[in-house]
Structure 1
Amino acid sequence: MAPTDRQARTLALAHALSAAERGLAVIPLSRTKLPALRSPHRDNPAGTPPCHGECGRFGHGVYDASTDPARIRALFAAAPRATGYGIACGLPPHHLVGIDLDTKTGTDSATALRELALRHLFTIPPTVVVLTPSGGRHLWLTGPPDIAVPNSASRLAPGIDIRGAGGYLVGPGSRTEHGEYTVAPGSAHLTPAPCPPSLLRLLLPPPREDHPPHRPAHPHGQGLVHFVLAAHEGQRNTRLFWAACRAYENGFGQALLAPLLDAALNTGLTEHEARATIASAARLTGHRP
């Protein structure tokens, strides 16, 4: 017998609190898999600056996510129709990255991921796997703390969606319109494994070609320096990391170190932040920082 909404909410709260004990920030979800609390700003006029919870009220989606039991209980108390919970991606300490292998489109996303792994020489390590009611799977991985993996839908391959910074995964134990999310047999005792470096590089955004040169650059990797210079706030670390990875992979990372550092400083990063990001790229590509 399917549980009532009240029973489903009680179970979802229990699962959410358990996830929070493991350092996973959570929010209540409805049976549609959407945040269960409506935005307090839904009637605001168009053009109003977005609020990510600064107002102190609930209803900001993933920005409400918390590991604090008291706050989680308050969120669920404000969402009586919640039957599940979402786990925010990209937040410390796990910096969760979700690989969503969908089956609803009729595509074989699992085969597509295996082909990507063969082509780019990576292996998905043993990690937490969550089974979805539609027959799909969510693979839980962890990313570097200084890199924001963006969300994407079918960019890697049809049926493969990525849940990164600003996104969330439906937590196991949640009930939706189509059924229950469950942990795959054999993975309940595991913790999220680090994302393989080759896969991580695929998850980061490619360089944009529509920005004109802003200034003279090193003869090697001129486009990479321009790519970093064109970064807006919120993109600076990610663009710098991507460019540094490409430079080291192509054999001129050390030669491009100073121009990349200079470009990063021009975007507003501190020297400490920029050097740490470039060093992460060097380690990720197998080079000595």
Structure 2
Amino acid sequence: MTNPMLAAALAIIAQGGRALICEPDGKAPITRFLPNGVLNATNNPELASRWWRHEPDGNVAAATGHPWYDVLDVDVKPDGNGWPAFNRLKAAGLLPAPLFVNGTPSGGIHAGYVGTNQACGSLRKHKLDFKAAGGYILVPPSVVEGRPYTLISERPHARNQLNWSAVRQFLDPPKPRDYSSGVSNRRSTGVSNGIPGLAAWLAGKTKPGRNQALFWAACRAVENGATEQELHELYRSMQLGNGFDERQAARTVVDAFRITNRRSA
């Protein structure tokens, strides 16, 4: 009977990926087989077979990034979890349908996308990690602390990529250069919603990414007390046209108002 861990490793290799053998019930690569960790991941079925012949209980992992998959890791930890950030990204349209979703032992997920050469990344305060070039993840049926990784869903014909840069900009954006002046104006003039500074930042935004920029700015304005009617001042500061019209902009600020108020309820 074929070892299920080896079978998973051979499936990774058949998909064009590279497999690793990790410690039984653990996440670290077994150093006697992989002295350089993920750099020694293999696409050789015979080598993988030898690994599991010597260590049949070893967990199985896959090197992430091209030519395999990029993976969004939603963590669940004692000090918080990544589900609120995941739901914000989904509501903003920044999470396309993944090729697969695996459940992790902590109660989180690994969501897989078409592999790229993007670098790995982490948003620690949001409990999200991005595994791409140079990274690896454990896959089913690996077990950590007695709990297995599981397959939740597959969409083998999906061809979506995840833009990690857009995710980072949305969840943890750099402070807009003019926003600080908006805050200062708010303190001196009594304007409470920061719209002047945000509008100044938005004024120079052109495609691509201006819809995401508008959504982000509208969310920040709502958090500072802006009404739905006041939000329309934001998109009037933008360069409309070229496929981005007033109706689309209006829908974006309405979505931002609804989503931000739901989060704070």
- Shorter-chain-normalised TM-score: which range? 0.5 to 0.7
Partner of 1:159: 127
Q: Of 167, 172, 190, which aligns to 1:202?
A: 167
Describe how 1:85-164 pairs up with structure 2 within 5 A.
85-92=60-67, 94=68, 96-119=69-92, 121-144=93-116, 148-155=117-124, 157-164=125-132
Conserved? CA contact 2:96–2:160, under 8 Å: no
Change in 2 beyond 3 A, CA 1:247/1:59: farther
What is the distance in 2 between the residues matched to 1:200 and 1:249? 13
Q: Of 141, 144, 159, which aligns to 1:173?
A: 141
Describe how 1:60-79 pairs up with structure 2 within 5 A.
60-78=36-54
Which of structure 1's runs of 4+ aligned residues deviate more than 4 A?
Answer: none
What is the distance in 2 between the residues matched to 1:104 and 1:67? 33
SS of the counterpart of 1:194?
coil
What is the distance in 1 between the residues matched to 2:135 and 2:75? 16
Describe how 1:217-256 pairs up with structure 2 within 5 A.
249=208
What is the distance in 1 between the residues matched to 2:4 and 2:137? 17
Describe how 1:32-47 pairs up with structure 2 within 5 A.
32-38=26-32
What's the CA shift for 1:136? 1.1
Conserved? CA contact 2:61–2:136, under 8 Å: yes
Q: Deviations over 1:52-99 (max 9, x none)?
A: xxxxx7422111112221121233345x2642111101132x3x2111
Change in 2 beyond 3 A, CA 1:168/1:99: same
What is the distance in 1 between the residues matched to 2:115 and 2:34? 28
User: In terms of Rg, which structure is larger?
Assistant: 2
Q: Deviations over 1:31-72 (max 9, x none)?
A: 22110224xxxxxxxxxxxxxxxxxx7422111112221121
What is the distance in 2 between the residues matched to 1:200 and 1:37? 33
What is the distance in 1 between the residues matched to 2:162 and 2:62? 21
What's the CA shift for 1:168? 0.3
Change in 2 beyond 3 A, CA 1:91/1:65: farther
Describe how 1:260-275 pairs up with structure 2 within 5 A.
none
Conserved? CA contact 1:58–1:75, under 8 Å: no
1:83 paired to 2:76: no
Q: Of 10, 19, 23, which aligns to 2:3?
A: 10
Conserved? CA contact 2:3–2:56, under 8 Å: no
Partner of 1:230: none
Partner of 1:261: none
SS of the counterpart of 2:80?
coil
Q: CA RMSD in A?
A: 3.3
Conserved? CA contact 2:72–2:129, under 8 Å: yes
Instruction: Tell me the TM-score normalized by structure 1.
Output: 0.52
The gaps in structure 1 that reach 5 residues or longer are: 1-6, 39-56, 209-245, 252-285
What's the CA shift for 1:165? 1.1
Count of matched residue positions in the alignment of Structure 1 and Structure 2: 178
More helix by share: 2
SS of the counterpart of 1:139?
strand
Conserved? CA contact 1:17–1:69, under 8 Å: yes
What is the distance in 1 between the residues matched to 2:130 and 2:95? 17
Partner of 2:19: 26
